[in-house]
Amino acid sequence: MAKSQATFMKKQLEKNRAKKKEDKEHRKQERQQNSTGGKLEDMMAYVNENGELSSTPPELKQPTKQNERKIL
Protein backbone atom coordinates (compact mmCIF):
# COMPACT_ATOMS: atom_id res chain seq x y z
CA MET A 1 0.00 0.00 0.00
CA ALA A 2 1.11 3.54 -0.70
CA LYS A 3 1.71 6.09 2.04
CA SER A 4 -1.16 8.40 2.72
CA GLN A 5 -1.16 12.04 1.62
CA ALA A 6 -1.59 13.14 5.23
CA THR A 7 1.80 11.68 6.19
CA PHE A 8 3.47 13.33 3.21
CA MET A 9 1.91 16.71 4.06
CA LYS A 10 3.02 16.43 7.68
CA LYS A 11 6.60 15.86 6.58
CA GLN A 12 6.45 18.77 4.14
CA LEU A 13 5.03 21.12 6.78
CA GLU A 14 7.73 20.07 9.24
CA LYS A 15 10.43 20.72 6.62
CA ASN A 16 8.95 24.16 5.92
CA ARG A 17 8.86 25.02 9.63
CA ALA A 18 12.46 23.91 10.08
CA LYS A 19 13.60 25.96 7.07
CA LYS A 20 11.78 29.08 8.30
CA LYS A 21 13.31 28.67 11.75
CA GLU A 22 16.79 28.27 10.24
CA ASP A 23 16.33 31.33 7.98
CA LYS A 24 15.10 33.40 10.93
CA GLU A 25 18.13 32.40 13.02
CA HIS A 26 20.43 33.28 10.11
CA ARG A 27 18.85 36.74 9.72
CA LYS A 28 19.13 37.29 13.49
CA GLN A 29 22.86 36.52 13.42
CA GLU A 30 23.40 38.87 10.46
CA ARG A 31 21.60 41.70 12.29
CA GLN A 32 23.72 41.15 15.39
CA GLN A 33 26.95 41.20 13.39
CA ASN A 34 26.02 44.31 11.39
CA SER A 35 24.54 46.30 14.25
CA THR A 36 26.21 49.57 15.15
CA GLY A 37 25.24 49.13 18.77
CA GLY A 38 22.71 51.11 20.71
CA LYS A 39 24.83 52.73 23.37
CA LEU A 40 22.93 54.48 26.11
CA GLU A 41 24.80 57.75 25.54
CA ASP A 42 23.73 57.78 21.89
CA MET A 43 20.08 57.32 22.78
CA MET A 44 19.91 59.94 25.54
CA ALA A 45 18.07 63.21 24.98
CA TYR A 46 18.13 66.12 27.40
CA VAL A 47 15.65 68.93 27.93
CA ASN A 48 17.14 72.39 28.35
CA GLU A 49 15.67 75.30 30.33
CA ASN A 50 13.63 76.37 27.28
CA GLY A 51 11.97 72.98 26.99
CA GLU A 52 13.85 72.01 23.83
CA LEU A 53 15.47 68.62 23.30
CA SER A 54 19.24 68.48 22.89
CA SER A 55 21.86 65.76 22.67
CA THR A 56 24.24 67.43 25.13
CA PRO A 57 23.68 67.31 28.88
CA PRO A 58 22.87 70.59 30.61
CA GLU A 59 25.58 72.45 32.49
CA LEU A 60 25.49 71.94 36.22
CA LYS A 61 24.74 75.20 38.00
CA GLN A 62 25.26 75.89 41.65
CA PRO A 63 21.95 76.30 43.43
CA THR A 64 21.37 79.88 44.50
CA LYS A 65 20.31 80.66 48.02
CA GLN A 66 17.11 82.59 48.14
CA ASN A 67 15.84 84.45 51.10
CA GLU A 68 14.91 81.69 53.44
CA ARG A 69 12.04 82.50 55.67
CA LYS A 70 10.91 80.30 58.45
CA ILE A 71 7.23 79.70 58.68
CA LEU A 72 5.95 79.95 62.22
User: With bands split at pLDDT 50, 70 and 90, how would you rate the model's confidence at 12?
Assistant: very high
CA 8/CA 71 separation, integer angstroms: 87
Contacts of 55 (CB under 8 A, 6+ apart): 44, 45, 46
**Terminal Cα-to-Cα distance of the chain (whole angstroms):** 101
Q: Which span out of 27-31, 44-48, 53-57, 68-72 was modeled with the highest average pLDDT?
A: 27-31
> What pLDDT sits at residue 64?
67
User: Is the pTM above the cut of 0.75?
Assistant: no
- The single-letter code of the amino acid at 15 is K
